[in-house]
Chains A and B, each alone.
Chain A
Amino acid sequence: MPNVAKQLQQQPGQGEPVIRVEDLHTWFEIRRMGFFKAGDVRALDGVSFELYQGETISIVGESGCGKSTLAKTILGIHHPTKGKIFFQGKDLSTLDKAGWKNYRASVGYIQQDPYGALPPFMTVKRILEEPMKINGITDKKEQARRIRQVLEEVKLAPIEDFLPKFPHMLSGGQQQRLVIARAMILGPKLLIADEPVSMLDASVRVEILQLLQGLQRRHNLGIIYITHDLSTVRYFSERIFSMYGAKIIEKSSTQALLKEPLHPYTRALFEATSDPDVENLRTFKEVPTGEPPSLMNPPKGCRFHPRCSKKIKGLCDVEIPPEFQVDDEHSVACWLYKDGK
């Protein structure tokens, strides 16, 4: 596979970022008896980053770490409790209704479960027409042209055969292509792909990832790729963020992270990933036991400290570690790196 990551070499800091997130918090209120406030689930607790045109960021972490909340907050499905999101320099909280509509048209969303994401009673043609109708593209010729273009791009050919089909008549891979086509039909600047391949078979997975990579190259898209599977990110992204307990705990270029993951949690993820290798049969994995923290009542200090084997008593369980810049490409929120590597 031609590694787009290497060809593009997008330098962070070049030009205006497509999306910039500043100290984003999304908390969900829990009410007792529907009236009294019982607390908050801190699903997203202080996340900042920026994404440039033509760049892919992978966000890895286990379920419940806030990756999907991050995606949904950026998409405007959840409203941030605190913090700001800037799209091409514009603060989303200042947008009016028309501005939001415009924003939503420039952000594509690829869901995890393609079958659940497609309305079962609509044909392929209607599924693709729908976003255009909502966004004022009513000219039939223009609609047909765009449908043809996106279906060609996602390689659902011959196009005429697919147009009258319903989602259940397509295979899993084809359904996911259709979801991608729908996300692409309004010509977005940013794609948010939430576990786009986790429901698919291994043989189809690669095809879909290559397809997304091709789209990125052709349209110079920014992509946020959310996954729990570390092994796919190497083929796909320039930067990796690792999330734990509603915070980003490590930010790195893909090369640097795969060479040496720094945060003990990222290391554990790394260790837990099984490559097909017969040596695995003879070795046990060193992985932390226990469960991710409750986000209603997160542990004091570093959120990983109850499971961490390298914790420093009196520091990790007291104070929240700030982000330490280890080198140009790598920063980590862990007290082990307070004096550099």
Chain B
Amino acid sequence: MSKVLLDVRNLKLYFRTRSGPVQAVDNVSFQLEEGKTLAVVGESGCGKTSLTKAILRLLPRNVETYEGEIIFEGEDIMKYNEDKFRKEIRWSKIAMVPQASMNSLNPVLRIEDQLMEPLLLHDRTMTKKKALDRVKEVFNIVGLPTDFLRRYPFELSGGMRQRATIAMALAANPKLVVLDEPSSALDLLTQANLMNVLKRIKQEYKTTFILITHDIGTASELADEIAVMYAGEMVEYSSAEYFYTDAHHPYSRKLMASVPTLREDKELQFIPGQPPSLINPPSGCRYAARCEKRFEKCSEHPCTVELEHGAKVQCWLYDETGEVKHA
């Protein structure tokens, strides 16, 4: 077993609103080993993006509760003050490619200036020339010609801009890169090309990724581990190997059954109903109202159970020993 890079324990992120606190991330715990990729999947509004924001501490003003432990390379980075966090962690060790980031490049700056900026800011000893060399290097890694560095963002296509933002995240040589829906706004072929690039980076440079996506098909391109989020909670955490053949949580199963497949003819199912409001979520299992397998016990909040091959499930169907009780 390789080294654990990121260990998140009981992470909570609540937002303050007029009608009460929104429990966007509620008691999320997981461990991610170095060099592995974790894909976080779930429907919109389940807290995927909030989770990444909580890890990178990119918080809006209306935060009500922000607590738990985030142990990164053995140190609890939640204890760092903002200044230390900004200097030592954000972008230099944990970088991010935010959602729709290809449209977030500054239109009046050349690509090279934008890519060099984080390098120059994070390392005072860095010269412009060295920074440019590094930027050229990462441009090669993501498969873009280096003469494009002199261009402005509007001179690049969507797929190229997306690669440029990934290059920007990789520039400072971070340990962990968080990708928030990196390919969902791109065309199919561009998306497949991008996934090839990410896969190559993963194999050659052993970068650890957290991939946020709603597309379970795309997630399988990159993921070693899959985490399923539902209504702010992580209901299942499992290795991709097991997840794609045999998901455990009733929600994960339904989610898998709702994905149309190209190569195999299967009966599609949908999940009736809607996720609960995160302002006042049910005290028991949050999925119970939509679950076909619910029973009396589901009105209490389920604990997380570890199954034999390391999968963690938050569901009453499985007891402490990992046995299936009510399947």
Contacts and interface: CB of A to CB of B under 8 A. Distances in A.
B188 A278 contact: no
Contacts of B83: none
B147 interface: no
A152 B64 CA distance: 42
Interface string B204-237: 0000000000111111111110000000000000
Contact of B270 (A206, A270, A276): A206
Contacts of B261: 231, 275-276
A207 interface: yes
Residue from the set A171, A229, A274, A280 with the largest chain B CB neighbour count within 10 Å: A274
Contacts of A272: 188-189, 191-192
Interface string B240-252: 1101110000000
A281 interface: yes
A171 B274 contact: yes
Contact of B264 (A210, A274, A275): A275
A204 B43 CA distance: 10
Interface in A231-279: 231-232, 234-235, 258, 268-278
B270 A234 contact: no
Nearest to B46: A201
Residue from the set B214, B218, B221, B272 with the largest chain A CB neighbour count within 10 Å: B221
Interface residues of A, number: 41
Given A231-B262, A235-B268, A281-B221, A287 B189 contact: yes
B258 A206 contact: yes
Contacts of A230: 188, 262
Contacts of B241: 278
Contacts of B159: 291
Interface in B22-65: 43-44
Contacts of A63: 187
8 contacts: A201-B44, A205-B258, A235-B260, A272-B192, A278-B241, A281-B199, A281-B240, A291-B157
Given A62-B189, A276-B261, A278-B244, 12 more contacts: A203-B254, A210-B270, A231-B262, A272-B188, A273-B217, A274-B195, A274-B218, A280-B220, A281-B224, A284-B200, A285-B195, A288-B189
Interface of B: 43-44, 157, 159, 187-193, 195-196, 199-200, 214-224, 240-241, 243-245, 254-256, 258-265, 267-272, 274
